[in-house]
Amino acid sequence: MSAVSCDRETATSTDKVTEANEAGTKNATSASPSDATSDSANTSALRIEPAELDMGDLLPNTPVEKTVRLTNTGATPLLIRKALADCGCTTPTWPSEPIAPGASVDTVITMDAGNQQAVELVKRVTFDIEGADPAFLTVKGRVGSYLTFEPANIEGAKDDDAQPPVAAITVRSMDGTPFTIVALDPPIAKGLATTPALEQQVEIDWTRWREEGKPVRVVIETDHPIGPPLGILIRRSLRGNPNAPKADAPKTE
């Protein structure tokens, strides 16, 4: 597994795929801030226990909540103005009232991996304190691999192809759980197998693809109990498109 950054947004009903899925659920390599742990040893009067919060093994689209304790080690009250995470997958809370000297309060941190698979998340939460140095918390979590698919993207059928080449996507179970592909969104599959298996294939119906407006993103839905929706990209071709820009004719002397 590799540490990743996941600036993801909440998925809509027709756009359920994160950037990690679009890469074919192959391990992402975009690292989170390298100083996430070094800044934890700060001089803030706010002590966070634990300084590194391990959320454990995460499942796709299943939020996990854990609690940390905030203690004021200083001589004056501490007012936390806000708490910010460096990624949308991590959501911190903070007390609205000042923390008295020597007092402690508990606050909840939530991590949600979304559609990501086969990654280790390492994130930082910054507690912004009025009139004092900020305090930092490192949050970690690991996501297993449940479904893989290939290819991650395919070439779209060309307008002048009377018989477009076959485009099939293979989906495999990585945890030994048989599954079926229940739908494509939009519905451009030629047919779907109804018998659960460790490997399934789905073929793109290019006629339906054209009727749906030639979508560039397709979501594969399965009945795997843990596996998230899978997203593929369909690259459009300009060949045969009458509206495509034309190259300038060569000049003659």
Task: Say yes or no to pLDDT of 158 above 80.
Answer: yes
Residue 143 near residue 119 (C-beta atoms within 8 A): yes
Q: What does the pLDDT read at residue 6?
A: 57
- pLDDT over threshold 50, residue 25: no
Length of the chain: 253
Cα separation, 28 vs 8, whole angstroms: 13
Residue 238 — very low, low, confident or very high, per pLDDT cuts 50/70/90?
low
**Per-residue model confidence (pLDDT) at position 237:** 72
Q: 46: number of CA atoms within 13 Å, CB side? A: 30
Instruction: Produce one character per residue of 111-149: b if its CB has 16 or more CB atoms within 10 Å, e if not.
Output: bbbbbbbbbebbbbbbbebeebebbbbbbbbbbbbbbbb
pLDDT of residue 19: 41
* pLDDT score recorded for residue 232: 93
Q: What are phi and psi of 210, to 5 degrees?
A: -65, -40
Query: Is residue 114 scored above 90 in pLDDT?
Result: yes
Residues 163-167, mean pLDDT to the nearest whole number: 87
Q: What is the mean pLDDT of residues 97-112?
A: 98
The alpha carbon dihedral of 70, 7, 29, 27 has a sign of: positive
Whether the pLDDT of residue 7 is over 50: the answer is no
> Cα dist. 3→32, 119, 139, 161 in Å?
7, 6, 12, 43
Q: Which residue has the tokens 């004056």?
A: 76
The 10s digit of each residue's pLDDT in 31-83 is 344 444 444 445 789 999 999 999 999 999 999 999 999 999 999 999 999 99
Distances (CA, A) of 227 to 107, 117, 174, 179: 30, 9, 9, 10
Residue 159 predicted with pLDDT over 90: no
| pLDDT value of residue 236 | 85
Which two three-digit tokens encode residue 168?
Answer: 């099939």
Cβ neighbors of 227 (< 8 A, separation 6 or more) are: 60, 117, 146, 147, 173, 177, 179
Confidence category of residue 239, pLDDT binned at 50, 70, 90? low
Domains of the chain in start order, with CATH, are 3-143 (2.60.40.10), 147-235 (2.60.40)
Alpha helices in 164-253 (DSSP H): 206-211
Report the sign of the C-alpha dihedral through residues 127, 142, 122, 20, in that order: negative
pTM, rounded to two decimals: 0.70
pLDDT tier for residue 1 given thresholds of 50, 70 and 90: low
Q: Looking at the predicted structure, is the pLDDT value of residue 198 above 80?
A: yes
pLDDT number for residue 184: 96
Asked if residue 173 lies in contact with residue 86, where contact means CB atoms within 8 angstroms, the answer is no
Average pLDDT over residues 160-185: 93
